[in-house]
Chains A and B, each alone.
Chain A
Amino acid sequence: MSKIIQILPKNILTEDIKAIVNNDFLNLIGIEPFSEVSINFLNQLSKEILSDTVTSQMPELVALAYFLRKSNIINITENFKKTIPDTEVSVPLGICFQIAPSNVDTIFMYSWAFSLLAGNSNIIRITQNVGEQLSSLLSIINRVINNPDIEDIRARNIILSYSYDDNINAYLSSVSDLRIIWGGDSTVQSIRKHLAKPTTRDIAFADKISYSIIESKYLLSLTNTSLTENVRLFYNDSYYFNQMACSSPQVVYFVGDDKDNHSASDIFWAKLEEILNSKAHFEHISVSMNKLAYLYEESASGMDLKIQSEVNPVNPTVVNISKEDIQKIGSICGGGYFHQCFLNDILELNQIIKHNEQTLSYIGFNLKILKNLVKTLNGKGIDRIVPVGQALTFMPTWDGFSLLNHFTKRVVVI
């Protein structure tokens, strides 16, 4: 059985990596973009995740499996192909070196899938700290990679777990045509310092912050059932990754007149508490301590805050913040710590949003208003505006990059 995954010991030498990522590997030509073999491989991964007794119980992997299934992938690729004019041919870039983040197990799978579809060969660095979920995922990959008829995939993909080493990263950078760098600002900069080829493309996922916007009048008009459903979706966006995903909301804006905003806020948080209660939410003591320390730090730094609900293990912490101080929010807290801000007009976001905002998840509002907001922002912050409940859904366009577009090259033929 051949394995494309290698968990390497600490202090592995660059020479050892060179033996794995050798000329044979580097000289292989890419696969045709959107080829049958890539789509089949992803579909086999999907099936294996869903049929395995362990991974089929892991929601994060199940979500991945749904994403990788044939119908979805074909849908994505067909939509992409429609964007390619007759005068252009889409071809692979070559070698893709990807740095996966060490604490969201599945995200590299999405970018890997797109790079595979693009026809690239892939070298993926994963953490040395392999937990249960990642380990289960890796064994699925190991199993599927030995299936017949995907030899082309097996030869062109390597997953390596090694401890960060400048020499190794420098070597892998020097051979790559595309670098995909997850892990936030510090990781991005630590990889960027290594020179790649002059033609190498970097797709870097920096530190981001996300918000929710709620149309107060709309929220107040909802039946109890729709209210519950909307807040349940907000709960999923927020609590699925302990509010630590870059697309989980950190600030909730209520938009409307003052009276509506207050009433909407009241019923919204009361409903969230009800949902937490129904799930017998009780957070780990270190999560509460984390939120407490964060609250004190924000307060000590002089931010204009008013505590609406205090830190405790069962309910969300809600802190009112003035819009002038939103940009002072530093690294995200997580664990159910929400800033709340009241706006009279959605276009006030124009004064708030600066650069590193990623997702706006919304309740209410029509697309015309939202598109108008994007035009008003004219490039400042905000990579995506999605209905509440889809904040965490991985999409072909992420952080402003149309991934398939960036992972392939266009050759003009006229």
Chain B
Amino acid sequence: MNVIENLFELPQYSIPFSEKSVFLIKELNKLTDYHYRNCIPYKNVIRTIYNNNYGNSQSLSEIPFIPVRLFKNIDLKSIPDSDVLKTLTSSGTTSTQVSKIFIDRETSLLQTKALASIVTSFIGSKRLPMIIIDTESSLGTASGMSARGAGLVGLSNFGRNHFYALDKNMQLKINELLDFIEKYSGEKILVFGFTFMVWQYFYEELRKNNIKLNLDGYLIHSGGWKKLTEIAVSNDIFKEKIQEQTGIAKVHNFYGMVEQVGSIYMECEKGYFHSPNFSEIILRGSDLKFSNKIGEEGIIQTLSILPKSYPGHSILTEDLGIIHGIDRCACGRKGVYFSISGRIPKAELRGCSDVYALAG
């Protein structure tokens, strides 16, 4: 059994940090070597920025990384075009360009298994009736998929009898929702959606219509807090209000990105994100140097051993986070646990060329 398969067999969050690091480093070194040989732009990066020093890193922080923005400007893939099974895209908030992530069958399979292994460790392996707080049309097509669509497809594997709760105008289909809940009463239900959409189109609609649900089950959500922070909704308020309106007590946020689908960081009962068996985060300071000081904010670098079809195994994100501890979260899970403090704020760089002119 190879390392990755072994990791799928082991219960999630069961391996202490130092032990996990050893085989992560080994696998990540292999991936760097693999992508160096199969992706020319990546090879160029390793040659120019890392002086061809690769494949023998002794620590996670030595593993070469690429900034997440590179996926927007350069096509990075380590497979022939004919092997591309699907292309995931995400549009950032900062530019009109989209990231393009090329997935082949092998990587897709790894992502699916990884996600299953993580999510089932929270909700059990039985497929639950599932309410998706989104429209069915947001899925996209099989070959081209937005980040939102990819998230939905990934998570929908853990449910059955999927009910898309929003119509194409983003209106909550209240009557059908109540019918669905009625039909599956007595069973645990899985609710999934993007954080802001769950708040705006699910919670707010229920509240406005004075409908209190009595759901037994889970809410899993992701997508960031920017819009909710603007209206002063914290994670605690979010959980409290959701429970008040829907009855759902088990609310789990997760941190993930289209550049590393599969290796998501789920929020535990104590409110911290946890690194699963096959991925890890480290932090870098404003000087971009490794700085994993507990309790100190840093730029998140995320490492995952899943990406084989594209060189995304070590990515410097533009998110800020804080590591709160290692191996000793009160929830009992091993490994690094952390929180996200938001995106790196933008500084305005003025110039003559007016990139946003047409939008301004």
- 6 A–B contacts, CB within 8 A, in A order: A102-B354, A190-B358, A299-B48, A300-B70, A306-B48, A334-B351
- Contact status B287-A103, CB under 8 Å: no
Point out the residues of chain B lying under 8 angstroms from A288, CB to CB: 286-288
Does A313 interact with chain B (Cβ within 8 Å)? yes
With A and B bound together, what is the CA distance between A210 and B126 in angstroms?
Answer: 63
Does B331 interact with chain A (Cβ within 8 Å)? no
Minimum Cβ distance to chain B for residue A288 (Å) = 6
Minimum Cβ distance to chain B for residue A194 (Å) = 14
Minimum Cβ distance to chain A for residue B115 (Å) = 28
Minimum Cβ distance to chain B for residue A111 (Å) = 12
- Contact status B288-A292, CB under 8 Å: yes
Minimum Cβ distance to chain B for residue A391 (Å) = 12
Chain B 331-360 per-residue mask, 1 if CB under 8 angstroms from chain A, else 0 = 000000000000011111111111111111
- Contact status B345-A286, CB under 8 Å: yes
- Contact status B349-A129, CB under 8 Å: no
Does B42 interact with chain A (Cβ within 8 Å)? yes
Point out the residues of chain B lying under 8 angstroms from A242, CB to CB: 349-351
With A and B bound together, what is the CA distance between A335 and B40 in angstroms?
Answer: 28
Of the candidates A104, A289, A290, A296, the one whose C-beta lies within 8 Å of that of B352 is A104
Stretch in contact with the other chain, from A63-71, A179-187, A252-260:
A179-187
Of the candidates A186, A208, A297, A307, the one whose C-beta lies within 8 Å of that of B355 is A186
Does A91 interact with chain B (Cβ within 8 Å)? no
Which of A245, A287, A296 has its CB near the most chain B CB atoms (within 10 A)? A296
Does B33 interact with chain A (Cβ within 8 Å)? no
CB contact under 8 A between A182 and B354, given known A286-B344, A287-B349: yes
Of the candidates B49, B345, B350, B357, the one whose C-beta lies within 8 Å of that of A296 is B49
- Contact status A101-B357, CB under 8 Å: yes
- Contact status A182-B44, CB under 8 Å: no
Q: Which positions 269-291 of chain A face chain B at CB distance < 8 Å?
A: 283-290
User: Residue of B at shortest CB range from A107?
Assistant: B352
Point out the residues of chain A lying under 8 angstroms from B351, CB to CB: 103-104, 241-242, 244-246, 332, 334
Point out the residues of chain B lying under 8 angstroms from A236, CB to CB: none
Q: What size tier do the contact residues of chain A reach?
A: 35 or more
With A and B bound together, what is the CA distance between A334 and B354 in angstroms?
Answer: 14
Does B41 interact with chain A (Cβ within 8 Å)? yes
- Contact status B66-A296, CB under 8 Å: yes
CB contact under 8 A between A127 and B360, given known A289-B318, A299-B45, A312-B288: yes
A-B pairs with CB below 8 Å: how many? 142
- Contact status B49-A299, CB under 8 Å: yes
The 6 closest A-B pairs by CB, nearest first: A244-B351, A184-B353, A183-B354, A300-B41, A284-B347, A299-B48
Known: A285-B345, A302-B44. 16 other contacts (CB 8 A): A101-B357, A104-B351, A186-B357, A205-B352, A245-B352, A246-B353, A292-B67, A292-B288, A300-B70, A300-B76, A301-B44, A302-B40, A312-B287, A332-B351, A332-B353, A334-B351
Point out the residues of chain B lying under 8 angstroms from A312, CB to CB: 287-288
Does B316 interact with chain A (Cβ within 8 Å)? yes
Point out the residues of chain A lying under 8 angstroms from B128, CB to CB: none
Main secondary structure of the interface of B (DSSP, over half): loop
Point out the residues of chain B lying under 8 angstroms from A311, CB to CB: 288
Point out the residues of chain B lying under 8 angstroms from A331, CB to CB: 353, 355
Does A405 interact with chain B (Cβ within 8 Å)? no
With A and B bound together, what is the CA distance between A128 and B42 in angstroms?
Answer: 41
- Contact status B350-A103, CB under 8 Å: yes
- Contact status B44-A244, CB under 8 Å: no
Point out the residues of chain A lying under 8 angstroms from B347, CB to CB: 283-284, 286-287
User: Residue of A at shortest CB range from B47?
Assistant: A299
- Contact status B352-A184, CB under 8 Å: yes
Point out the residues of chain B lying under 8 angstroms from A105, CB to CB: 350
CB contact under 8 A between A101 and B352, given known A292-B316, A307-B48: yes
User: Residue of A at shortest CB range from B69?
Assistant: A293
With A and B bound together, what is the CA distance between A338 and B18 in angstroms?
Answer: 40
User: Residue of B at shortest CB range from A99?
Assistant: B357
Does B299 interact with chain A (Cβ within 8 Å)? yes
- Contact status B357-A190, CB under 8 Å: yes
Of the candidates B345, B346, B349, the one whose C-beta lies within 8 Å of that of A334 is B349
- Contact status B316-A208, CB under 8 Å: no
- Contact status B316-A104, CB under 8 Å: no
Minimum Cβ distance to chain B for residue A309 (Å) = 13
Point out the residues of chain A lying under 8 angstroms from B288, CB to CB: 288, 292, 311-312
Point out the residues of chain B lying under 8 angstroms from A171, CB to CB: none
Does A32 interact with chain B (Cβ within 8 Å)? no
Does A295 interact with chain B (Cβ within 8 Å)? yes
Of the candidates A101, A187, A297, the one whose C-beta lies within 8 Å of that of B73 is A297
Chain A 119-135 per-residue mask, 1 if CB under 8 angstroms from chain B, else 0 = 00000000111000000
Does B74 interact with chain A (Cβ within 8 Å)? yes
Minimum Cβ distance to chain B for residue A165 (Å) = 11
- Contact status A164-B358, CB under 8 Å: yes
- Contact status A293-B70, CB under 8 Å: yes
Q: Which positions 55-91 of chain A face chain B at CB distance < 8 Å?
A: none
Point out the residues of chain A lying under 8 angstroms from B49, CB to CB: 295-296, 299, 307
Does A48 interact with chain B (Cβ within 8 Å)? no
CB contact under 8 A between A244 and B349, given known A183-B354, A186-B355, A299-B48: yes
Point out the residues of chain A lying under 8 angstroms from B69, CB to CB: 289, 293, 297
- Contact status B74-A335, CB under 8 Å: no
Does A163 interact with chain B (Cβ within 8 Å)? yes
Minimum Cβ distance to chain B for residue A260 (Å) = 26
With A and B bound together, what is the CA distance between A163 and B48 in angstroms?
Answer: 43
- Contact status A102-B299, CB under 8 Å: no
- Contact status A164-B45, CB under 8 Å: no
- Contact status B346-A296, CB under 8 Å: no
With A and B bound together, what is the CA distance between A331 and B69 in angstroms?
Answer: 15
Point out the residues of chain A lying under 8 angstroms from B360, CB to CB: 102, 127-129, 163-164
With A and B bound together, what is the CA distance between A241 and B349 in angstroms?
Answer: 8
With A and B bound together, what is the CA distance between A300 and B346 in angstroms?
Answer: 24
With A and B bound together, what is the CA distance between A207 and B286 in angstroms?
Answer: 31
With A and B bound together, what is the CA distance between A292 and B287 in angstroms?
Answer: 11
- Contact status A313-B286, CB under 8 Å: yes
User: Residue of A at shortest CB range from B352?
Assistant: A246
With A and B bound together, what is the CA distance between A127 and B359 in angstroms?
Answer: 10
Which of A205, A300, A306 has its CB near the most chain B CB atoms (within 10 A)? A300
Of the candidates A102, A163, A300, the one whose C-beta lies within 8 Å of that of B42 is A300
Minimum Cβ distance to chain A for residue B305 (Å) = 22
Does A347 interact with chain B (Cβ within 8 Å)? no
Q: Which positions 69-101 of chain B face chain A at CB distance < 8 Å?
A: 69-70, 73-74, 76
Q: Which positions 283-299 of chain B face chain A at CB distance < 8 Å?
A: 286-288, 299
With A and B bound together, what is the CA distance between A288 and B288 in angstroms?
Answer: 8
Does A305 interact with chain B (Cβ within 8 Å)? yes
CB contact under 8 A between A289 and B344, given known A104-B352, A186-B357: yes
Of the candidates A190, A207, A301, the one whose C-beta lies within 8 Å of that of B74 is A301
- Contact status A184-B357, CB under 8 Å: yes
User: Residue of A at shortest CB range from B318?
Assistant: A289
